[in-house]
Amino acid sequence: MGSSDLLDNEVLKELEKIKSYPWVTPGIVEDSLKSVKELIAESIEAGLSRGTECGYAGTKFLFSLLEAAGKDSADSIEEANEIFTVGMRIADKLWGFLKEGIDPEALDRVIPQYVEKVWHKG
């Protein structure tokens, strides 16, 4: 399976949602997604529960974005909720991919493509 086959529409739709926040830049999104992927791979390995860990991955996504942007906190609870939810859903997708046996390295290659698609498509 080529990495472009992994370009999942739902993931793209999720990422679209956070595009409007000016401080959320493609570079930091890419890094955050990679760390989420890393976490999910390790969590599967450790035999942890999908529901709980994807929730945690949502916070990981949120907090690594905040940190990379040099922000101490989100600007509003709505913003935090949205980014968290996006992170959680993407994490769940990634969990599905990895469970299906997709090579983690293929995911690493596809993550920049997601970002590219959402932020530079215009």
Partner 1 sequence: MRRSQIFIQLILLATLVSLPVSYFLLPSLYAGTGSTRVIEVKMRQFGFIPERIYLRVGDKVVFKVTSLDVTHGFYIDGFNIKESVLPGETKEIGPIEFNQPGKFKLRCATPCGPLHPFMVADIVVEPDYPIYIFFGAVAVVAIATVAYILAKPPRGELLGVSLDREIDLLEVRGIGSLLKRFLRWRGYHFLVILPNLAVFMLIFVAGTIGNPMGAFNFSIAVVWILWFALVEFMILFGSRLWCGVCPIPALGEWIARRRLVGVHEPRKWLSLNKKWPKRLNNMWIPALSFLGISLIVPWLVTRPAVTVLLFLVLIILGVVLYLVSPPRNFCRSICPAGGYIGYHSLSSILAVRSKDPSVCDKCVVKSCVRGSPRSYGCPWKLYPGGNKWNIYCGLDFECLKSCPVNNMTLKLRMIGKDLAQRIRMKADEAWMGFIRFGLALFYEMVFFGPYAWIKDWGNMLNVYGANLLTLYLLTPTLEGFISWLKWAGIVSLTCLLLIPAVFLVFSWLAKIAAGARKESTKKVFLAFSYALSPYGLLIWIAFALTLLGINWAYPIRVFSDPLGLGWNLLGTADINWQPFMPTIWPYVQMSITLFGLALAINITYSIAMNLFKDHGKAIRATAVMSIFHVGAALFFAMVLMG
32 binds partner 1 (CB under 8 A): no
Asked if 17 and 111 touch (Cβ cutoff 8 Å), the reply is no
50 binds partner 1 (CB under 8 A): no
Buried b (16+ CB within 10 A) or exposed e, 2-18: ebeebebeebeebbeeb
21 binds partner 1 (CB under 8 A): no
79 CB-contact burial (10 Å; exposed 0-12 / middle 13-18 / buried 19+): middle
39 binds partner 1 (CB under 8 A): yes
97 binds partner 1 (CB under 8 A): no
Least distance (Å) from partner 1 to the CB of residue 94?
Answer: 14
76 binds partner 1 (CB under 8 A): yes
Least distance (Å) from partner 1 to the CB of residue 34?
Answer: 14
